[in-house]
Amino acid sequence: MEFLGLSLALFGAALAAALAGIGSAIGIGIAGGAAAGVMTEDPNKFGSCLILQALPGTQGIYGLLIAFFVLNKLGLLGGAGAVALNWNQGLQILASCLPIAVVGWYSAIWQGKTSAASIQMISKKPEAMGKAIILPAMVETYAVLALLTSILMLMGVQVG
Amino acid sequence: MGVARLKKAELYYHKSVHDQIAATLQESGACQIISTEEDKVQRPSDIEALISRNDDKLSEVRYLSRTLTPVYVDPVPALDRMLGERPDVTMSELEELASKTDLQSICEQTRAVEHEAGEVRSKLSEARTNTALLADLKFFPYPLSVFTEGTRTLTALAGTIKAENVAGFKAALGDLSKYVADTEVVVAPFDEKDKAQSVYVAVIYSRSIESEIREVCAKHGLSFVEVPASFAGTPEEEQEKFAASITQLEKKESELADKLSELAQENVPAVQKLSDYYNSLSSRYNEMARSEETECTMLTKFWLPVDRAEEVKQKIEAISPDVALFMSDPAPEDEPPSLLKNGSLTRPFNILTELYSSPAYRGIDPTPLLAPFFWIFFGMCLGDAGYAIVVFGTILYVFKKYKKMSLGVKDFIKLFLFCSISTFIYGVISGSFFGNFIDSFVPALVPLKNSLMLVDPMTNPMQVLGISLLIGIVHLMFGLLIAAYDKLRNGQFIDAVGNDLSWFMFITGLTFLGLGMGGMLPPHFVQIGQAMAGLGAVIIFIYAGRGKGWNIGGRIISGFLALYGSTSYLGDILSYSRLLALGFGSAVIGMVINLLGGLAADIPYVGWLVAIVVIIGGHIFSILINILGSFVHPLRLQYVEFFGKFYTGGGEPFTPLTLSQEFVNVKA
């Protein structure tokens, strides 16, 4: 049972990177489909479509960021060797990873749907690009808040 | 600063000079033509004629640019072109070019080439289909004329049939040939095991049993294959013929493609210039068609910024003595368009307002009000001195290299130039330089970095969170003050106090109270805060019950409901925590990249190379993705939290009659 803490913490890091990454992949996929459809009509919209498609990609980055944060905290990067962790601390780190894992996963999918709708919007009204960017960004707010929660929780957990 | 004052101009002139007048108004780029009446059907006759003549030219130009542009190899890269590297021409040069260029003959040449290419393509596809068919008919040992002509008594048919039916089909034909000789079945070689595949068969038979043969074919599910009438020799002979013609056609096809790109290379530069020319004329005539006419005179009405009025007036009066220009201030019932007019420091931020919605003509222009906040927010979100230097340097390089950028592009780039300065400042005070590059790779500079640090998000994020929320409160309170000012300006004193100033006092008071109790402000701020918050709450409570008379119960309920609205302010304020999160995000992504670079450096022999690639590539990626976030999120704070307090937009943007400059820079 000596490594249970470490395993729990790693499980948390894996969830953060994996779930948020899956969400972003799905979200970007949804937006990409819409973008490809619009570009068959008007290839010149590639630039604006790409920006809108990239918007749901940040959740995956937030997840990766938390995963690295955890690995760094555990001392697994840089060859200094892992810190000692009891199962309680491991569970705490796992809990800290959950906000970005769950919210990142789900919000990226919905952001992707909003992005797809925004892409449809600029296909008809290219001048509405500003509004088209803001609508998906409204969804991302909650991913940002989850990221913040995860960061603050992780900083609060004492290890070593 | 703010929304530019406009004049309403009424211009009367003689018909003989209408085209010069139109050109002058268009070249000034300062006049937005007003429709004299909605849904005007009858256009002035002189202009109607010009429009229909111009439309013919325009359709030729459009045809040419649609056909030739895809095969045109532009010597100027697309990015350079976007940043203003395009030929400069004047309107009179374009006019000369237009009179010199025989668009019709270019169109004819292009159409001829296109037509021929179309024919070649269809012949080629026919030849390819036939070659494929011949490959399938290779099993047939006789000349193919048996199918197409036959002999006096014999003919043949070809078709495909399922492999499992072949035996039955043969047997049935065998029964038929008992009575009539000369029936022969040829079956293409096939794999016995695959029952579902289609197999080619050919049947040679006597003309006398045509109908019986067809019956058998139908019964066994044979689907006929049409053998083209031109086939005469054996399949091999025919294939050779087609192979020769395919090579010939392919050669022809590539010749025609070369010819088309030659035409493109030769004509596209002129076509692009003419496209701008005829599009300019088209918008000129269509806008001027809103004018009124009498037998000899015309009347055009337009909006004109006050500071351009004198210049335009002089130009118009120089054309002819037979013009009369009257200018007046907009009447109260007019809804003039709005043109943002800001100094060189705030002008780059105009685009942020325009992306949301232009202000109404008599409304407040929020641009100078949001500019400093956006500047600070962007800096906090990107928040890295190294990234700031990269962005700043890149933009300076672009400005140095491209001198002819359009004003809009230049202003947009300038926005990022300005914001890179705040990014640098925040990067220095938060100790972020390409993430933790200094700590990881240049330990000698650590003391310098640390001495400049004022906040440390990495070890003390609560401090930065507090700062973010405080900035948020300032931003929101500023918004409330603007709302109050706007209402006072319109004489709505009660609403200004009840709706905006009350909340301002309530929240500012609570903030003072909190900061005073937390020891961040002198203790007497606790009392000031209590008084302000109390007074604000009382006003909110009373104002909410307005119009309810002496219905005390109703007033109490609506008062509490109004105070419950403070939760929405709580949400607004917490929204500013994204400033910490995004700044943190870019710092940590930078850290991760440095870490990966450091790990890569341990690879034997090539480690340093991999490390450099990882670090440079990674930071470029990080800059791009973080700029996107640092643009979008501060913008949301402006649009949702800040504008929500006072700004609705709702104005029509000023869209003057201008020259079309899609491909070239047109000067008057």
Contact assessment for residue B33 and residue B301, using Cβ atoms and an 8 Å cutoff? yes
Provide the residue ranges of all domains of chain A, joining segments of one domain with +: 4-156
Strand partners, B326: B10
pLDDT at B379: 95
Note the pLDDT of residue B511.
92
- Within 8 A by CB and 6+ apart from B473, the residues are B507, B508, B511, B573
> Which residues of chain A neighbour B462 with C-beta distances below 8 Å?
152
Residue B356 forms contact with A (CB below 8 Å): yes
Which domains, ranges and CATH numbers included, belong to chain B?
A: 41-129+238-289 (1.20.1460), 141-233 (3.30.70.2750), 367-646 (no CATH)
Residue B409 class from Cβ within 10 Å (0-12 exposed, 13-18 middle, 19+ buried)?
A: middle
Average pLDDT, chain A: 89
- Cβ-in-10-Å burial (0-12, 13-18, 19+) of B466 comes to middle
The 10s digit of each residue's pLDDT in B626-667 is 999 899 889 989 988 899 888 888 888 898 998 888 888 887
Higher confidence at residue A130 or residue A147? A147
Per the model's pLDDT, the better-predicted residue between B181 and B422 turns out to be B422
Q: Mutate which of B69, B464, B578 to test chain A, going by most A C-beta atoms within 10 A?
A: B578
The answer on pLDDT for B69 being more than 70 is yes
Contacts of residues B268-272 at CB distance under 8 Å and 24 or more positions apart, as own/partner, are B268/B64, B268/B65, B268/B68, B268/B69, B268/B72, B269/B87, B270/B97, B270/B101, B271/B61, B271/B64, B271/B65, B271/B68, B271/B106, B272/B65, B272/B662, B272/B663, B272/B664
Residue of A62, A137, A151 lying closest to B633 (CB–CB): A137
C-alpha distance from A68 to closest chain B C-alpha (Å) = 7
The CATH classification number of A4-156 equals: 1.20.120.610
Residue in A with minimal Cα distance to B579: A144
Number of residues assigned to chain B: 668
- Determine which of A64, A70, A74, A134 to mutate to test the interface with B (most B C-beta atoms within 10 Å): A134
Out of A72, A131, A148, closest to residue B581 by CB: A148
Q: Which DSSP letter does residue B77 get?
A: -
Q: Quote the pLDDT of residue A30.
A: 95
pLDDT, residue A102, reads: 97
B599 touches chain A (CB under 8 A): yes
Angle at A9 between CA A5 and CA A13, to 5 degrees: 165
Task: Judge: B581–A147 Cβ closer than 8 Å, yes or no.
Answer: yes
- State the pLDDT at residue B120: 92
AA letter at B295: E
Inter-residue contact B297 to B274 (CB < 8 Å): no
Q: Can you tell me the mean pLDDT for B292-320?
A: 87
Give the span between the Cα atoms of A30 and B299, in whole angstroms.
54
Tokens at B417, concatenated: 């130039």
Q: Which residues pair with B11 in a beta bridge?
A: B300, B325
Q: Higher model confidence: residue B536 or residue B150? A: B536
The CA distance from B633 to the nearest CA of chain A, in Å, is 7
With CA atoms as reference, report the closest residue to B17 among B305, B312, B300. Answer: B300
Q: Are B340 and B362 in contact (CB under 8 A)?
A: no
CA–CA distance, B277 with B92 (Å, rounded to integer) = 10
CB contact under 8 A, B588 and A155: no
B628 contacts A51? CB cut-off 8 A:
yes
pLDDT of B295: 82
Q: How far is CA B7 from CA A144, B37, B328, B332, B335, in A?
A: 47, 19, 6, 13, 12
pLDDT tier at B405 (50, 70, 90 boundaries)? confident
Prediction pTM value:
0.81
Residue B147 pLDDT grade (very low, low, confident, very high; cuts 50, 70, 90): confident
Interchain contact B618–A (C-beta under 8 A): no
Task: Kindly indicate the confidence band of residue B619, based on its pLDDT and cuts at 50, 70 and 90.
Answer: very high
Which residue type does B583 have? Answer: G
Confidence of residue B1 (pLDDT cuts 50, 70, 90): low
Token readout for B473 is 């409160």
Which residues on B lie below 8 Å from A68 (Cβ)?
588, 591-592, 595
Which of B654, B33, B30 lies closest to B287 in space, CA to CA? Answer: B33
CB–CB contact B635 A137 (8 Å): yes
CB atoms within 10 A of CB B372: 15
Which pLDDT value is given to residue B393?
96
User: Using the beta-carbon criterion (under 8 Å), do A78 and B599 form an inter-chain contact?
Assistant: yes
SS3 B263: helix
How far are the Cα atoms of B100, B300, B312 from residue B282, in angstroms, in the given order? 19, 17, 22
Is residue B256 within 8 Å of residue B113, measured between CB atoms?
Answer: yes
pLDDT in tens, A103-119: 999 999 999 999 999 99
| Beta-carbon separation of B636 and A137 below 8 A | yes
User: What does the H/E/C string look like for B456-475?
Assistant: CCCCCHHHHHHHHHHHHHHH
pLDDT at B37: 64
Supply the pLDDT for residue B40: 61
Alpha-carbon distance B659 to B270, whole Å? Answer: 17
In this predicted structure, what is the pLDDT of residue B36? 66
- CA distances B626 to A26, B48, B278, B559, B610, Å, are 21, 53, 43, 44, 23
Confidence of residue B509 (pLDDT cuts 50, 70, 90): very high
H/E run at residue B636 = helix B607-636
Per-residue HEC secondary structure of chain A comes to: CCCHHHHHHHHHHHHHHHHHHHHHHHHHHHHHHHHHHHHHHCHHHHHHHHHHHHHHHHHHHHHHHHHHHHHHHHCCCCCCCCCCCCHHHHHHHHHHHHHHHHHHHHHHHHHHHHHHHHHHHHHHCHHHHHHHHHHHHHHHHHHHHHHHHHHHHHHHCCCC
User: How large is the ipTM?
Assistant: 0.77
Longest pairwise C-alpha distance within chain B: 125
Binning pLDDT at 50, 70 and 90, where does residue A24 land? very high
Q: Would you state the pLDDT for residue B39?
A: 59
Single-letter code of the amino acid located at B521: L
pLDDT of A74 > 90? The answer is no
- In whole angstroms, give the CA distance from residue A92 to residue A73: 13
Half-sphere exposure of B273 (CA within 13 A, CB side): 22
Mean pLDDT of B585-611: 88
Under 8 Å CB-to-CB from B72, ≥6 apart: which residues?
A: B261, B264, B265, B268
Reported as a pLDDT band with limits 50, 70 and 90, residue B332 is confident
Contact A59, A20 (CB under 8 A): yes
Q: What is the pLDDT of residues B333-385, one digit of tens each?
A: 888 999 988 888 899 999 888 888 889 888 889 999 999 999 999 999 999 99
Cα–Cα distance measured from residue B633 to residue B639, given in angstroms and rounded to the nearest whole number? 10
Residue B38 pLDDT class (50, 70, 90 cuts): low
Between B355, B585, B629, which is nearest A130 by CB?
B355
pLDDT above 70: residue B258: yes
| Mean per-residue pLDDT, B96-116 | 89
d(CA B206, CA B83): 78
Distances (CA, A) of A141 to B192, B236, B375, B575, B587: 66, 71, 20, 8, 19
Q: Provide the mean pLDDT of chain B.
A: 87
Instruction: Say yes or no: B636 contacts chain A, CB-CB below 8 A.
Output: yes
**Which of A90-104, B15-29, B459-473, B511-525: highest mean pLDDT?**
A90-104
Residues B50-60: pLDDT tens digits? 888 888 888 99
Q: What is the pLDDT of residue B192?
A: 74
Phi, psi of B190 (to 5 degrees): -145, 165
